Amino acid sequence: CENKLDINPQGSLTEGVIEINETWVGQQLISAYAMLDGNPGYFWAPASNWTLGDVASDDFYKGTTISDQPPLNEIERYAPNTTNIYLIRKWQAIYEGIYRCNQTLNSISMAIENGVEESKLKPLGAEARFLRGHYHLEAKKIWNNIPYISETTVEAVPNDVDVWPNIEDDLKYAVDNLPDTQDDAGRPTSWVAKAYLAKAHMFQNDLDAAGPILDDVINNGPFSLVTNYHDNFNGEKDNNSESVFAVQNSVNDGGDGYINGNRGNRLNHPYAADAPGGGCCGFFQPSQNLVNAYKTDENGLPYLDTFNDEDVKSDQGVPSDQAFAPYEGTLDPRLDWTVGRRGIEYLGWGPMPGMRWVRDQANGGPYVAKKHEVLKSQEGTISAAGLPQYNAINTPLIRYSDVLLWRAEVHVENDQLPQAMELVNQVRRRAANPNGFVMNADGTPAANYFIKEYTEFPSKEYAEKAVRFERRLELASEGHRFFDLVRWGIAESVLNAYVSAEQDQRVYLKGATFVSGTNSYYPIPLEAINTSRGVLKQNPGY
């Protein structure tokens, strides 16, 4: 009977039955892409970084009720524990992505040994290295002191070594070996890799290195701004000319219907059954500070210094069945594509009804987010049939406006103020397209939109402020803000000012303090330190 004990695992592939060939390499590579959305980290590891990038910034509140997901309150209050689930899951998802890239690269070596032509595998290898660069870059901006894991790493690696050179190596390899065009919209081209390489330089504050690459992307690359701002957030217009690199979300794809459908944002819908998302769960609410930033002055320009002196009028405390007249002052039209506010048409779902859509206004304020929501007409097609929390709107990682505004930063650094202004204006010009405004049902603009281009950057200081302000307005809720503030070295002043202004309304912010250095980066998850057997060291201050 003993020879009957040789039983193969049921329903799983083992090494003996896998043929290592081009097909297998391609399938492994797909799984490396599959980690871009952060699954299986669920909403704790969102690709959009709404947690670590937006809630932790001055743009967004956690929202919902005080007690829902307390670990996110800790992040919002700059007091995360080392066991915070949002950090563990993010770390694990990123390094799972890296592991899959490395598995792909190892399979390529084996396939070559097996006689597969190297040229067939090279583009796949370049994609794997691109993704590995992306994942490490994500980790780098979140934790700073991270280990670099390559396809030959088998033991824990210390995190006190500068990994920027490794990240750059991966991205440079991708620049050199990726094709200029790809058949599949989800795969990076050499142009995408260049944009990433520039991003790596921006995060090292090596603007001189970033400049020429950005110029190359802008002057020779395939990207352009789309006509209407909202097309960037419309699932039917995914992968348009402005999308440099994005997570490809899909629904109704034969799987469980929702699993690849932007799981990271599944909690971030208005709290009402008649809203997109079907009523779950009221997270991710824009701050009053962010809304105020969209006010424009008599020249159609933002109030760079005084924007928060007076609030855009809100319906805080006003029940939905009581009358409310929205703010009548002039506003940047991008506000109402970014923020859902009372009385303004919400993507075909009717005017946002205020308190009724908000889970706990006393806690999370009167606003809801908007960019990741489907149009009413897309219900069941771009959102998952029967599971509206999930939808196929891509999660933008780099947009072309992102690239333009980086280049503007470089220009400011080099005192090329008119060139910087032109790039900012290019972004504003598109925003100012009146066909791209949020409209009432009768076709009139939903609010008093008034936006103009800058006519002058009078000083380097002004230019820097304007460029940074434009980034906030253009890219709000796309997960960049916190990391930008840290990159610019202004996180402490901006965030502490924000906390002191907001804490009267958002009482849970009382006592929160951002300490530069410590809070500029998140704590390394304790689980990562423990399982590395102490090879990884905790970030300073935690």
Partner 1 sequence: ITVSGKITDVQGSPLPSVSVIIEGTYEGVQSDFDGNYTLNATKGQTLMFSYIGMETQRVIVGDNPTINVTMADALSELEEVVVTGYSKQSTRNITGSVTIVKNENLEAVSPVSVEQSLQGQASGVLVGSEGGPGGSALVRIRGFGTVNNNDPLYLIDGTPTTSGINNLNPADIESVQILKDASSAAIYGFRAANGVIIITTKGGKYASKSKITFSGNTGVDFVSKSDFPEFLTPQEMADVIWTRFKNDGTDPSHPQFGNGAQPVLPTYLTPAGASTADESTYNALTNKITKANKEGTDWFDEYFNPALVQDYNLGMSGGTQTARFNIGLGVLQQDGVALETYFDRYTFRANSEFKASDKLRFGESFNLSYSERVSAGGNQNTGGDISFIYRADPILPVHDIAGNYAGTQSPGLGNGYNSVAAAKRNKDDVARTSRALGNVYAEMDLLKGLTFKSNIGLDYGTYHFSNFRGMNPEVSEPNSVNKLDETTWYNLSYTWFNTLSYSVSLDDHHIDALAGTEFFKHQTRTFNAARTDFFTEALDYRYLDAGTGTSTNYGYGGKRAYFSAFGKIDYNYADRYLLSFSIRRDATSRFAEDNRVGYFPSYSVAWRLSNEEFMKGLSFITDLKIKAGYGELGNESIPEGRVSNLYGNDINTSNYDIVGSNSSATAGYNLLSIGNQNLKWETTTTKNIGIDGILFDSKLNFSFEYYKSETVDMLLRSAGDITLIGHVTAPYDNLGSMENKGFDFSIGYNGTIGNELKFNASTNVSAYKNKVLTLTDNSDYFLNGNAARETYPSRTQAGHPLASFHGFIIDGIIQNEAELDAAADYLGKDVGTFKYRDVVEDGVINDDDRTYIGNPHPDFTYGINLNMEYKQFDFAVMFQGSQGNDIYNFTRFFTDYNSFPGAKSYRYKNSWTSSNPGATLPKLTNNPAQHYSSASTDYIEDGSYLRLKNIQFGYNFPKAVTSKLNIGSLRLFVQAKNLITWTNYSGLDPEINLQRYGGDDVNLDIGIDRGAYPVAKSILFGVNLTL
Q: Which stretch binds partner 1 (CB under 8 A): 206-214, 297-305, 505-513, 514-522?
A: 505-513
Structure tokens, 227: 């006509």
According to the binding rule CB under 8 A, does residue 121 interact with partner 1? no
351-361 core/surface letters (b: 16 or more CB in 10 A; e: else): bbbbbbbbbbb
Build a one-symbol-per-residue string for 430-469: x at contacts with partner 1 by CB under 8 A, - elsewhere: ----------------------------------------
Give, for 351, the enclosing helix (H) or strand (E): none
* Closer residue to partner 1 (CB): 4 or 115: 4
According to the binding rule CB under 8 A, does residue 534 interact with partner 1? yes
According to the binding rule CB under 8 A, does residue 301 interact with partner 1? no
Build a one-symbol-per-residue string for 143-162: x at contacts with partner 1 by CB under 8 A, - elsewhere: ----x-x---xxxxx-----
* Closer residue to partner 1 (CB): 30 or 161: 30
Among 210, 466, 536, 539, binds partner 1 (CB under 8 A): 536
Among 110, 161, 507, 515, binds partner 1 (CB under 8 A): 507
Q: What is the footprint of partner 1 within residues 362-391 (CB under 8 A)?
A: 362-363, 381-382, 384-388
* Closer residue to partner 1 (CB): 49 or 248: 248
Q: What is the footprint of partner 1 within residues 310-339 (CB under 8 A)?
A: 317, 319, 321
According to the binding rule CB under 8 A, does residue 394 interact with partner 1? yes
According to the binding rule CB under 8 A, does residue 51 interact with partner 1? no
According to the binding rule CB under 8 A, does residue 273 interact with partner 1? yes
Residue 208, C-beta contacts closer than 8 angstroms, at least 6 positions apart: 410
Residue 86, C-beta contacts closer than 8 angstroms, at least 6 positions apart: 44, 45, 51, 52, 71, 72, 75, 80
* CA nearest neighbour of 37 among 28, 49, 25: 49
Build a one-symbol-per-residue string for 162-181: x at contacts with partner 1 by CB under 8 A, - elsewhere: --------------------
Token pair 């020249």 in the structure block, residue: 299
62-89 core/surface letters (b: 16 or more CB in 10 A; e: else): bbbeeebbebbbbbbbbebebebbbbbb
- Decide: 360 and 64 in contact? Cβ < 8 Å: yes
Burial of 174 (0-12, 13-18, 19+ CB in 10 A): buried
* Angle in degrees, 0-180, between the axes of helices 207-220 and 400-413, rounded to the nearest 10: 130
Among 110, 161, 185, 515, binds partner 1 (CB under 8 A): 185
Token pair 């500070």 in the structure block, residue: 289
* Closer residue to partner 1 (CB): 161 or 459: 161
* Closer residue to partner 1 (CB): 41 or 333: 41
According to the binding rule CB under 8 A, does residue 187 interact with partner 1? yes
Token pair 């998802």 in the structure block, residue: 93
* Closer residue to partner 1 (CB): 24 or 307: 24
Structure tokens, 86: 């949002």
Q: Which stretch binds partner 1 (CB under 8 A): 170-178, 431-439, 493-501, 506-514?
A: 506-514
Q: Which stretch binds partner 1 (CB under 8 A): 46-54, 222-230, 278-286, 298-306?
A: 278-286
According to the binding rule CB under 8 A, does residue 95 interact with partner 1? yes
Give, for 256, the enclosing helix (H) or strand (E): none
Token pair 């900012």 in the structure block, residue: 424
Chain length of the chain: 542
According to the binding rule CB under 8 A, does residue 227 interact with partner 1? no
Query: How far apart are CB 235 and partner 1 at their closest, in Å?
Result: 6
Residue 434 φ then ψ, to 5°: -65, -25
